[in-house]
Amino acid sequence: MARIGVFVCHCGENIGRTVDVPSVARAAQGFPGVVVSKDNKYTCSEPGQAIIREAIREHMLTGVVIAACSPHMHERTFRRVCASAGLNPFLCEIANIREHCSWIHEDRGEATAKAIDLVRLAVEKVKRNIPLETISIPIERKALVIGGGIAGIQAALDIADGGREVILVEKEPSIGGHMSQLSETFPTLDCSQCILTPRMVEVAQHPRIRLMTYSEVESVDGYVGNFDVTIRKKARKVDATICTGCGACMTACVQRKVSNEFDEGLSKRTAIYTPFPQAVPNIPVIDQMKCLRILSQKKGKQDACGKCLDACAIGAIRFDQEDELVTEKVGAIVVATGYSLYSIGKEQDSPDISGYGEYGYGTIPDVIDGMQFERLASASGPTAGKILRPSDGKEPKRIVFLQCIGSRDRAKGIDYCSKICCMYVAKHTMLYRHKVHDGQATVFYMDVRANGKGYDEFTRRAIEEDGAVYMRGRVSRMYRDGDVIKVVGFDTLAGEPVTIDADMVVLATAIRPRPGIKDLAQKLSISYDKHGFLNEAHPKLRPVETNTAGVFLAGACQAPRDIPDTVATASSAAAKVLGLFSQESLEREPTVARVDISHCAGCFTCERVCPYGAIGHREIRDRQGRLIKTVADVNPGVCQGCGTCQATCPSKSVELMGFTDEQIFAEVNAILA
Ligand SMILES: Cc1cc2nc3c(=O)[nH]c(=O)nc-3n(C[C@H](O)[C@H](O)[C@H](O)COP(=O)(O)OP(=O)(O)OC[C@H]3O[C@@H](n4cnc5c(N)ncnc54)[C@H](O)[C@@H]3O)c2cc1C
């Protein structure tokens, strides 16, 4: 005989204002099987919980219904209360009379009647609940970090320092990401390479970090604690196990006119190259699209060039090397794939800066973007840190910086603020004045957003100490007049049009998601926003978690971020991973599908419809080992309890624990009664 207790909550005034809570409790008292029904101001409070515990013991309850807020809020709390009183926690049901009644209805009578209905169906369901046990899943205590920028580096080091193994996968030949391209960094103006390269080396030497550069994640299967990852190690055409990084191959290479990506096209590199001198690992890679030997072989010609082969004394050049697929089991994944810049000529999802023809990028050679300016200002850059015009190598005496190119522009489809540009433009004006003492920097801005520790002081310093002129307004057109770039705009504070002569123009272009990120997101079953930045599970309460358990986010893959914010998110993602790995095994809710093997006909409709790939095959054999039949088999670690299999199984052999057909129909009948 069912003995059900019903506890109806006022939720302060949240429910009580609209729903007549005492009436709901009184109505429930009359439902078949209900032996006690009470209302309480705050059922989730300690006194409220105590009342439930006492009632379970006193009335020997076999099931409990809590009529209160959403199960998202307090289902766990109430299940724990039941467990503490000796009742199986899955014999507790929630009737959501806040979000489903009081918050969405105005009429008290209607809201109360609906609340009574919801309690009635919860009572009918809980009568049919059976005790369930949580599922225990082992955890592989090894993490995968995807992306070797400062976010991935920080996350990998924190996890490894916390005592766990890490595989760090970077698609480029070296780790470092955008930070390795920067000159000096706001707000302290410390040299980017000086703070980054020691960390890169630390990663390479860390006994618990396995670095896989020039590699990409091919596929991801499995679930939290047990991901099976396949990684493609792209062929460097160089044997990394013996290469000493002496650079003789690069010196010998005759193909010297390849646009250098690291210098943002402001210099040339060879076909066999390391991206930059401090690269980690310091092992070159052959650019197969540019190598004369590979290109000529593709055309069926024989070995046009072999200079690097000849130059390498230890025989590390391997033209026969092919891509390799490596499989690894990991328990958690940190995605740290960073951002790309809104810029012409680069791989973009959409749109590209050619939509900004008025700024002459790509047509006027001395119109460059912010990252190109970083390379000019960097001591390791193409001009050894001198600010020189790309067109003629002369020192520009007047530079105009334009903010918000592509950002905050609804007409062009990017409505968000790129967040870091106000700060790096202020930095650029300073770096410029530190190098060209008689230079004049003018900044066109919409408004200055400098909300970080020391950030406002930093931008003021650019104006007050380094003499940058900030002009509020937009530029409508730029054109070349001989040697000069005419910048035509409108000063909105003075209320008048202005034309400024510039020797160079720097565009602060929008921060964009990485091209290809949607592909990776699909492999990981995580979501992204309308722009392509990866979504967190909850912006306030779970900012580095995703909607897939065990997959975490770090850095600018999530939104435009500066280095301090990037490092902070990387460390918190690492903390989440270490928290996960601190457990012996994972406890999972038992609300997963189960197959009745005696009925299953092995049609595998369930396998085809399962959105999580949770269903496999199981062979049923007799005592002699002869195959009787093959049936569906649910992996409880992967199953998310969506019930699609239950709804589609033609022989009704699959049931979702906690949501069986019998329970669902009991609810429906209770409503229709
Ligand atoms: C012009 C400019 C100046 C800046 N100046 C400053 C400054 O002075 N101070 C400051 O605090 N911030 C500055 N920033 C911001 C800074 O660049 C970022 O905060 C930082 O680089 C973000 O790091 P990240 O690791 O998240 O991303 P990234 O630096 O973009 O690194 C991501 C890494 O992931 C790799 N990757 C991408 N996709 C994959 C994949 N599928 N598989 C494997 N690897 C992948 C990439 O190759 C890259 O190495 C500046 C930005 C710009 C544009």
The first and second tokens of residue 219, run together, are: 């596929």
Q: How far is the CA of 336 from the centre of ligand 1 (A)?
A: 9
Q: What is the pTM of this model?
A: 0.86
Segment among 110-114, 460-464, 579-583, 611-615 with least mean pLDDT: 611-615
Q: How far is the CA of 244 from the centre of ligand 1 (A)?
A: 28
Give the pLDDT of residue 299: 86
Domain that holds residue 644: 593-656
My answer on whether 349 and 496 are in the same domain is: yes
Q: How far is the CA of 153 from the centre of ligand 1 (A)?
A: 11
- Average pLDDT value for residue range 242-262: 96
Nearest 5°: CA angle at 37, between 36 and 43?
120
Q: 83: burial class by Cβ within 10 Å (0-12, 13-18, 19+)?
A: middle
Q: Which atom of ligand 1 is nearest to the CA of 169?
A: 43
Q: How far is the CA of 184 from the centre of ligand 1 (A)?
A: 14
User: What tens digit of pLDDT does each residue of 155-182 get?
Assistant: 999 999 999 999 999 999 999 999 999 9
In a domain, 31, yes or no: yes
Ligand 1 pocket, mutate which of 180, 186, 337 (most atoms under 8 A from CB): 337
My answer on whether 165 and 277 are in the same domain is: no
Q: How far is the CA of 534 from the centre of ligand 1 (A)?
A: 15
Q: Which atom of ligand 1 is nearest to the CA of 172?
A: 47
Strands 469-481 and 440-445: parallel
- Average pLDDT value for residue range 504-523: 95
Segment among 375-384, 409-418, 447-456 with least mean pLDDT: 409-418
Range with the largest mean pLDDT of 334-338, 358-362, 474-478, 640-644: 334-338
**CATH number of the domain that residue 41 is part of:** 3.40.50
Give the pLDDT of residue 574: 98
In percent, how much of the chain has pLDDT > 70? 98
Give the pLDDT of residue 354: 58
Q: How far is the CA of 197 from the centre of ligand 1 (A)?
A: 14
My answer on whether 126 and 160 are in the same domain is: no
My answer on whether 118 and 21 are in the same domain is: yes
- Average pLDDT value for residue range 380-388: 96
Ligand 1 atom 35 nearest Cα = 147
My answer on whether 41 and 148 are in the same domain is: no
My answer on whether 368 and 441 are in the same domain is: yes
Residue 111 near residue 87 (C-beta atoms within 8 A): no
Strand order in the sheet with 551-553: 209-212, 165-169, 142-146, 332-335, 551-553
My answer on whether 351 and 400 are in the same domain is: yes
Q: Return d(Cα 673, Cα 572) in angstroms, integer.
A: 51
Ligand 1 atom 30 nearest Cα = 338
Taking Cα atoms as reference points, which of 19, 29, 111 lies closest to residue 7?
Answer: 29
Query: Which residues, 6 or more positions from 280, have their beta carbon under 8 angstroms from its beta carbon?
Result: 174, 175, 176, 197, 200, 201, 203, 204, 211, 213
Q: Point out the domain boundary residue: 134, 159, 183.
A: 134
Q: 652: burial class by Cβ within 10 Å (0-12, 13-18, 19+)?
A: exposed
Q: How far is the CA of 186 from the centre of ligand 1 (A)?
A: 14
In a domain, 520, yes or no: no
Q: Return d(Cα 4, Cα 373) in angstroms, integer.
A: 71
Taking Cα atoms as reference points, which of 349, 351, 350, 369 lies closest to residue 359?
Answer: 369
My answer on whether 412 and 466 are in the same domain is: yes
Residues lining ligand 1, Cβ inside 6 A: 146-152, 169-172, 177-179, 182, 185-186, 216, 336-339, 341, 370-371, 374, 420, 424, 427, 514, 520, 555-556, 561-564, 566
Q: How far is the CA of 150 from the centre of ligand 1 (A)?
A: 7
Alpha carbon separation from 576 to 22, 211, 586, 627 (Å, rounded): 43, 21, 14, 45
My answer on whether 331 and 346 are in the same domain is: no
Give the pLDDT of residue 670: 93
Q: Point out the domain boundary residue: 512, 540, 564.
A: 512
Collapsing DSSP to helix, strand or coil, 625 comes out as: coil
Ligand 1 pocket, mutate which of 154, 179, 230, 517 (most atoms under 8 A from CB): 179
**CATH number of the domain that residue 631 is part of:** 3.30.70.20
Q: How far is the CA of 353 from the centre of ligand 1 (A)?
A: 19
Residue 506 near residue 376 (C-beta atoms within 8 A): no
In a domain, 210, yes or no: yes
- Strand-pairing partners, residue 553, are 335
Give the pLDDT of residue 173: 98
User: What tens digit of pLDDT does each residue of 35-94 get?
Assistant: 999 999 999 999 999 999 999 999 999 999 999 999 989 999 999 999 999 999 999 999
Q: How far is the CA of 253 from the centre of ligand 1 (A)?
A: 30
- Strand-pairing partners, residue 232, are 216, 325
My answer on whether 28 and 122 are in the same domain is: yes
Ligand 1 pocket, mutate which of 153, 157, 182 (most atoms under 8 A from CB): 182
Q: Which atom of ligand 1 is nearest to the CA of 152?
A: 25
Q: Which atom of ligand 1 is nearest to the CA of 371?
A: 1
Strands 92-96 and 165-169: unpaired
**CATH number of the domain that residue 424 is part of:** 3.50.50.60
My answer on whether 498 and 378 are in the same domain is: yes
Give the pLDDT of residue 352: 53
User: What tens digit of pLDDT does each residue of 607-625 get?
Assistant: 999 988 899 999 999 999 9
The pLDDT-based confidence of 484 (bands split at 50, 70, 90) is very high
Q: How far is the CA of 372 from the centre of ligand 1 (A)?
A: 14
My answer on whether 171 and 39 are in the same domain is: no
Give the pLDDT of residue 345: 44
Taking Cα atoms as reference points, which of 63, 70, 127, 124 lies closest to residue 95?
Answer: 70
Give the pLDDT of residue 353: 54
Residue position matching structure tokens 């105590």: 50
User: 344 pLDDT exceeds 60?
Assistant: no
Taking Cα atoms as reference points, which of 384, 395, 414, 488 lies closest to residue 444?
Answer: 488
In a domain, 446, yes or no: yes
Number of domains in the chain: 5
Give the pLDDT of residue 342: 84
The pLDDT-based confidence of 626 (bands split at 50, 70, 90) is very high
- Average pLDDT value for residue range 94-109: 97
User: What tens digit of pLDDT does each residue of 174-204 get?
Assistant: 999 999 999 999 999 999 999 999 999 999 9
In a domain, 319, yes or no: no
In a domain, 665, yes or no: no
Give the pLDDT of residue 349: 43
Q: Which atom of ligand 1 is nearest to the CA of 179?
A: 21
Q: How far is the CA of 116 from the centre of ligand 1 (A)?
A: 55
Average per-residue pLDDT for the chain: 94
DSSP 291-330: -HHHHHHHTT------HHHHH-TT--B-TT---EEEEEEE
Ligand 1 atom 38 nearest Cα = 337
Ligand 1 atom 19 nearest Cα = 562
Q: Return d(Cα 482, Cα 502) in angstroms, integer.
A: 11
In a domain, 670, yes or no: no
User: What tens digit of pLDDT does each residue of 653-670 get?
Assistant: 999 999 999 999 999 999
